[in-house]
Structure 1
Amino acid sequence: MKAKKFDVFVIGSGSAGQTVAKTCIQAGKKVAIADNREFGGTCANRGCDPKKILLGATEAFEFNQNLRGKGIARDTKIDWKQLQKFKSNYTDSVPPSTEKSLKEMGLKLYHQSPKFVDEQTLSVEGKLVRAAQIVIATGQIPRTLSISGEKHLKVSDDFLNLKKLPKSIVFLGAGYIGMEFAHMAARAGAKVTVMDMGKRPLKHFDADLVKELTKYSEALGIKFIFGAEPTSLKKKRKRYKLSYEEKGSKKELTAHAIFNTAGRVPALAELDLEKGNVAYNEVGVETNSFLQSTSNPRVYACGDVSDKDVPLTPLSGRQGYVVSENILNGNKKELVVPVIPSVVFTLPNLATVGYSEEEARNRYKNIRVNFSITPDWFNAKRINAPLYAHKIILNDRTGEIVGAHLLGPEAAETINIFTMAINSKMTDKDIKSTIFSYPSWANDVKSMV
């Protein structure tokens, strides 16, 4: 079979893949792009964006609940069915609009996951394609839980598309996804349990702030089971029975739906990377500083599937830009990653940027830690927010801000102020001398440092 030839073949149509494909075709290259799911990638179709749309109604509900009897006269509830229809107004248009845009630019589109045949040849849709450069940008997929009855587990895609919210839900994993969905489901009326093998939720976030968020989550009705390992899942008539081990004891619980929220792994299994001589590990495709495969120089990897990535959409786009530059101009552009904020969209939001307290103590001789729980500050009191806290870490010698950890209604926005401050090496004096709008959440950063 004769292979169709391309200059660049991109696998994956998310932020990273689209950046490479569009940049290369604009430079005059012959480019193809393939995806085994809807074009547009995880974030727009089944990740960040639809999640934030569902969150919008949850935020309105939370605002109403906090001000009930303080200017808000009536109680409210979340209509899950209407909310899903509203979300679909956005997500349904993403794949066709993405495909239309790519076709109009002149790209060849394939609707299947390719497999490597050799170092520069792929098999896709029953055809062979050969490319001078192949770009892997397949993102991540849910981590597999190898337990009996695993086929009955639902994943994040299923939650985001639930037409009807189950009366009771168990989330297996207390990371970003599990905690965010737990908060949405609990406020929408479901009985929620979060189970994790660890000792607490959100292990990569500040322990003091997570402790406060956990207590508040429990007050919402969310039940936590820590130090527990799921062992099997059985389908009953209307419910599922989950068996697990906790502290050496075998236990069971039942729920109308069980979700696997135990994290995500690079989507590489379908590519036959061994045939393409593409080295990889549990983190992703092994790449050098140019995001080029360490074992096959014809291959680049970018986005969540690269071993140089933090799974965040803004960084995926930046990686796509780096790969594009190196394909077009030779390996001249290395990946430079600034300090990047990370947010858990629970309510309240939990946000972090820079060093943790432990990391800062290991790096600097003396640090200053400003940790306070401040629901009595004006911005929290004016909306009757029950939880508002911060931990700001500074180099005590210079006053430079080196880490910020926020828990509050607008933490996802306020953390960006600290991100700019850390990347610009600003000090507490720099922040305090800045005039922000008042009264605003951003203005509170002056009191935090």
Structure 2
Amino acid sequence: MTQYDYDLIVIGGGSGGVRAARIAGGYGKKVALCEADKLGGTCVIRGCVPKKLMVYAAGYQKMFKAAKAFGWEVDSHFDWPTLLKNKDEEVHRLNQIYHNLINNAGVTLHPHFASFVDQHTIQVGDKTITGKHIIIATGGLPQMPDIPGVEYVINSNQALDLPELPQSMVIYGGGYIAVEFAGIFNALGVAVKLVYRGPQLLRGFDDEVAKFAQQSFSESGIEVITNTSLKAIEKTSKGYQCVTDDGNVIDSDCVFFATGRVPNIQGLNLDKIGVDTEDDGRIRVNDHQATNVDHIFAVGDVSNIDQLTPVAIKEGHLLVDRLFKDSERLMEYDNIASTVFSMPEIGRCGLTEAEASEQYKNVKCYTSTFRAMKYAMSEVTEKTFMKVIVCEDSDKVLGIHIVGTDAGEIIQGFAVAIKQGLTRRQLQKTIGIHPTSAEELVTL
């Protein structure tokens, strides 16, 4: 039998790759993990974690504003360098935890870029290693459109480490990354213009949710400019000018593109070993996370439409269980809950109204708009919107959508019920916790 250096080689030290490597190591397998950057990937280093810390920082602006109604006089001053310093220390702490996890599992870390030499051989640094099974978990990268002046533009990576806060910023994009950073910088005192080529932000979200959220963003002070594309960026003595498709010019101190993400496959030499990819660059996999090369697999953003950290983690764990523990369990992609950490926050699970209407004949929606009690006495005018989508024939809840404070925390609990086949009757039989925003969902 062919002898390999490792039972498993994992390329990519993000959340999915680390989970796969350490679980396999825990099963007593000989495992190599190849990662040239810090462990933790996009989520820990330049995504979910540092971004959420900035969301918390930005949230104090609203809290201080609301505090007056409760008798507090707050004299506040925000210091950007302090936030960056503490954010970096927390990211470093988490990075060390990841190192401890793989060390404790007996995983060998190769801190270099990896690429395929052949279907079982990986070039990593100045050496080659072989593996019986190989998992590609290299994640994604910010996509930057090829327009004049794009070299002056920052992306979500640089936005987390700006040396100082600009006075004004243009953010180009309409997805979750764009609206999250728009909320952060707006709350921290930056004059934000959010430019999107489509008619409405948050394409793919429930239409009512997207409209409500966009109106909330505008009311918070973000200038939302839709049906507009940027054709060029020009540097001036005072900053930058964004030239739009209709010939107008938007001035700002900083230009930030949040125009999507692409799979991180450059340099892997996938064409050399015959691994198939989709038209958008994603590695093509089946429901076992297997590529067309039977011992090579892919998990996470490099292969997945659902670009969510918990999805990558679950895919990696289940895959290793199938490889080394005779498990037959596959990843389930229905009713995956997610949250946009915008201001206000958006939580969702299940189908949108449009999706439900395509799949079911008799769909009914129940909605509620209200001002959260937390802000009722204050100057904060932000409102909460909730929507429950139901199949009237079966009474099954097809989707729940929330825009408002703690939307992510609320939707996580309801996602468990939706996954188990929640009905509207079961919702109505449940006694709410009063006074909370979440109780509204069991009274609709």
TM-score w.r.t. length of structure 2: 0.93
Residues 23, 105 of structure 2: 8 Å contact kept: no
C-alpha change, 1:232 and 1:390, in structure 2 (3 Å) is same
Distance 1:146 1:21 in 2: 36
The residue aligned with 2:247 is 250
The residue aligned with 1:124 is 124
1:290-314 deviation line (CA, Å, top 9, x unaligned): 1111x2112011111124x411111
The residue aligned with 2:58 is 58
Distance 2:113 2:230 in 1: 31
Residues 133, 298 of structure 1: 8 Å contact kept: yes
Distance 1:428 1:284 in 2: 38
Match of 1:394 among 386, 390, 395: 390
1:195-247 deviation line (CA, Å, top 9, x unaligned): 111111111212222222222222222112222222222333351222221xx
Match of 2:346 among 345, 350, 368: 350
Match of 1:302 among 299, 303, 311: 299
Distance 1:382 1:254 in 2: 37
Q: 363-372 vs 192-201, which deviates more?
A: 363-372
C-alpha change, 1:237 and 1:97, in structure 2 (3 Å) is farther
C-alpha change, 1:364 and 1:312, in structure 2 (3 Å) is same
Residues 368, 387 of structure 2: 8 Å contact kept: yes
| Structural mapping, 1:402-417, within 5 Å | 402-417=398-413
Q: 401-410 vs 72-81, which deviates more?
A: 72-81
| Structural mapping, 1:254-273, within 5 Å | 254-273=251-270
The residue aligned with 1:286 is 284
Distance 2:324 2:237 in 1: 58
- 1:378 Cα deviation (Å)? 4.4
Residues 388, 401 of structure 2: 8 Å contact kept: yes
- 1:14 Cα deviation (Å)? 1.4
- 1:440 Cα deviation (Å)? 2.4
| Structural mapping, 1:209-228, within 5 Å | 209-228=209-228
- 1:91 Cα deviation (Å)? 0.8
Distance 1:70 1:156 in 2: 36
Distance 1:128 1:278 in 2: 19
- 1:19 Cα deviation (Å)? 1.4
The residue aligned with 2:144 is 144
The residue aligned with 1:420 is 416
- 1:368 Cα deviation (Å)? 1.6
Name segments (4+ residues, structure 1) moved above 6 Å. none
Residues 338, 348 of structure 2: 8 Å contact kept: yes
- 1:334 Cα deviation (Å)? 2.6
Distance 1:100 1:358 in 2: 46
Residue 90 (structure 2) pairs with residue 71 (structure 1) = no
Distance 2:344 2:190 in 1: 19
Q: Give unmatched runs, 5+ long, in structure 1.
A: none
C-alpha change, 1:432 and 1:332, in structure 2 (3 Å) is closer
**AA matched with 2:214:** T
- 1:26 Cα deviation (Å)? 1.8
Q: 358-367 vs 130-139, which deviates more?
A: 358-367
The residue aligned with 2:310 is 314
Residues 11, 17 of structure 1: 8 Å contact kept: yes
The residue aligned with 2:24 is 24
SS at match of 1:212: helix
- 1:69 Cα deviation (Å)? 4.3
- 1:67 Cα deviation (Å)? 4.2
- 1:100 Cα deviation (Å)? 3.9
Match of 1:439 among 413, 435, 441: 435
C-alpha change, 1:298 and 1:258, in structure 2 (3 Å) is same
- 1:162 Cα deviation (Å)? 2.2
The residue aligned with 2:362 is 366
Distance 1:12 1:238 in 2: 41
Residues 400, 428 of structure 1: 8 Å contact kept: yes
1:363-384 deviation line (CA, Å, top 9, x unaligned): 2221221123222x64653665
SS at match of 1:432: helix
**AA matched with 2:376:** K
Distance 2:314 2:343 in 1: 29
TM-score w.r.t. length of structure 1: 0.92
Residues 61, 78 of structure 1: 8 Å contact kept: no
Distance 2:78 2:344 in 1: 18
Distance 2:386 2:94 in 1: 37
What do you get for the CA RMSD once the two structures are aligned?
2.1
Q: 137-146 vs 225-234, which deviates more?
A: 225-234
**AA matched with 2:424:** D
- 1:424 Cα deviation (Å)? 1.7
Match of 1:381 among 376, 379, 382: 376
Residues 379, 440 of structure 1: 8 Å contact kept: no
- 1:164 Cα deviation (Å)? 1.5
C-alpha change, 1:78 and 1:387, in structure 2 (3 Å) is farther
Distance 2:388 2:43 in 1: 30
The residue aligned with 2:114 is 114
1:71-105 deviation line (CA, Å, top 9, x unaligned): 33335343322222222231122333422432343
C-alpha change, 1:331 and 1:430, in structure 2 (3 Å) is closer
